[in-house]
């Protein structure tokens, strides 16, 4: 997405045109409310499910909320750098935060199912590697968006390229993560763990599909954003604001919404409770067996004959 830099003429101050259109205040405030409600819902669900690993997603929801406030604010002037910087930095930095939670969720599902042997990557490394890559994407996009706030044409061009590189890298990371998740899903269906065998009522497949929906939504969002940052300013993807709301705002909201209806914390909590109950039953049976006297060790004494 190109930003037009107008140098000053006859001593006038230079002007930066951040948008090729006037941002919609109505759409901005609408998605501000939508993301605000979704974020509140996740905060509420985090407490009963003890899902502290959803904090990055909650932070991402906060970023989306204030980011779209920035777009609504930009309706007053498309030359105002404060409102543009607010929406640019927060909306770009929100997806890596949401993705970090998704990465951590898969590792916790694998552990709660006692299915580490079915993962293509060690669970300890799975979370670490993907979260570290996500932090790199976050820093890249934050830095790229941050340097554009300077208003200098050359620095803003560099910042655009940095953001573009971060978006491309995030697409690669997402593709690799989905591949690992699908392999685990298939192996778990082919060889269920004892926990799933003993608890056939534990419906885990919808939660895996929720992860897929969240990942694919963010992948499509990043792909469209990549096209946007790489395409000329005059293309439809840059000149029509609808693309932002359809392929960014809506897809990010879908990622958060599907994780509300199929909150992984519910599945993980239930799986851990069943695992503890199974371990308790096994230990109880073991103790009971150890206290029983084998019948072969007890023989009745012969009765003494009386005269």
Q: What are phi and psi of 6, to 5 degrees?
A: -105, 110
Q: Is 251 exposed, middle or buried (0-12, 13-18, 19+ CB in 10 A)?
A: buried
Contact 225, 96 (CB under 8 A): no
Segment 167-196, tens digit of pLDDT: 888 888 889 999 999 999 999 999 999 999
Return d(Cα 75, Cα 33) in angstroms, integer. Answer: 17
- The angle at the Cα of 273, spanning 270 to 276, to the nearest 5 degrees, equals 150
Segment 106-131, tens digit of pLDDT: 999 999 999 999 999 888 888 888 88
What confidence category does residue 65 fall into, taking pLDDT thresholds of 50, 70 and 90? very high
- The angle at the Cα of 83, spanning 81 to 85, to the nearest 5 degrees, equals 65
Nearest to 264 by CA among 58, 118, 49, 56: 49
Does 85 reside within a domain?
Answer: yes
> Is the pLDDT score of 164 beyond 90?
no
Q: What are phi and psi of 15, to 5 degrees?
A: -125, 140
Q: Looking at 62-66, 130-134, 204-208, 259-263, which range is the least confident one?
A: 130-134
Work out the percent of the chain whose per-residue pLDDT is above 70: 81
Return d(Cα 98, Cα 248) in angstroms, integer. Answer: 13
Measured in residues, the chain has a length of 307
Does 294 reside within a domain?
Answer: no
* Structural domain total, the chain: 1
Does 242 reside within a domain?
Answer: yes
What confidence category does residue 226 fall into, taking pLDDT thresholds of 50, 70 and 90? confident
Does 276 reside within a domain?
Answer: no
Does 94 reside within a domain?
Answer: yes
Q: Is the pTM value of this prediction over 0.75?
A: yes
Return d(Cα 53, Cα 105) in angstroms, integer. Answer: 8
Q: Is 260 exposed, middle or buried (0-12, 13-18, 19+ CB in 10 A)?
A: middle
User: Which CATH number goes with the domain that contains 161?
Assistant: 1.20.1070
Of the ranges 6-20, 23-37, 272-286, the best mean pLDDT one? 23-37
What confidence category does residue 30 fall into, taking pLDDT thresholds of 50, 70 and 90? very high
Does 234 reside within a domain?
Answer: yes
What confidence category does residue 141 fall into, taking pLDDT thresholds of 50, 70 and 90? confident
Average pLDDT of the chain is: 84
> Is the pLDDT score of 202 beyond 60?
yes
Does 251 reside within a domain?
Answer: yes
Domain range enclosing 138: 21-271
| CA distances, 164 to each of 104, 160, 167, 202, 259 (Å) | 25, 6, 5, 42, 27
User: Mean pLDDT throughout 153-164?
Assistant: 74
Does 108 reside within a domain?
Answer: yes
User: Mean pLDDT throughout 214-232?
Assistant: 89
Position 142 scores a pLDDT of 72
Instruction: State both tokens at 193.
Output: 């763990």
The DSSP code for 16 is E
> Is the pLDDT score of 279 beyond 80?
no
Position 280 scores a pLDDT of 45
């Amino acid at each position: 997405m190109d930003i037009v830099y107008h140098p000053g003429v006859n001593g006038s101050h230079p002007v930066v045109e951040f948008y090729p259109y006037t941002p919609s205040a109505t759409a901005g405030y609408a998605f501000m409310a939508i993301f605000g409600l979704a974020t509140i819902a996740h905060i509420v669900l985090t407490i009963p499910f003890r899902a502290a690993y959803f904090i990055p997603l909650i932070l991402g929801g906060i970023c989306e909320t204030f980011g779209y406030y920035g777009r609504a604010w930009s309706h007053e002037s498309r030359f105002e750098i404060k409102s543009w910087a607010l929406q640019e930095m927060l909306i770009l930095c929100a997806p890596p935060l949401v993705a970090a939670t998704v990465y951590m969720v898969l590792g916790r599902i694998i552990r709660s199912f006692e299915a580490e042997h079915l993962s293509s990557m060690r669970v300890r490394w799975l979370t670490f590697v993907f979260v570290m890559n996500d932090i790199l994407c976050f820093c890249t996009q934050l830095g790229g968006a941050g340097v554009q706030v300077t208003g200098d044409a050359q620095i803003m061009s560099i910042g655009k390229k940095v953001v573009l590189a971060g978006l491309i890298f995030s697409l690669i990371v997402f593709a690799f993560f989905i591949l690992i998740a699908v392999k685990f899903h298939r192996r778990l269906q082919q060889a269920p763990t004892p926990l799933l065998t003993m608890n056939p009522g534990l419906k885990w497949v919808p939660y895996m599909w929720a992860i897929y929906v969240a990942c694919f939504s963010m992948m499509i969002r990043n792909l469209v954003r990549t096209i946007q940052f790489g395409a000329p300013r005059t293309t439809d993807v840059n000149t029509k604001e609808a693309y932002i709301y359809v392929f960014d705002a809506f897809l990010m909201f879908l990622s958060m919404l599907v994780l509300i209806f199929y909150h992984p914390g519910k599945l993980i909590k239930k799986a851990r409770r069943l695992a503890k109950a199974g371990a308790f039953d096994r230990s109880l049976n073991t103790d009971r067996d150890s206290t029983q006297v084998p019948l072969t060790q007890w023989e009745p004494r012969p009765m003494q004959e009386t005269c």
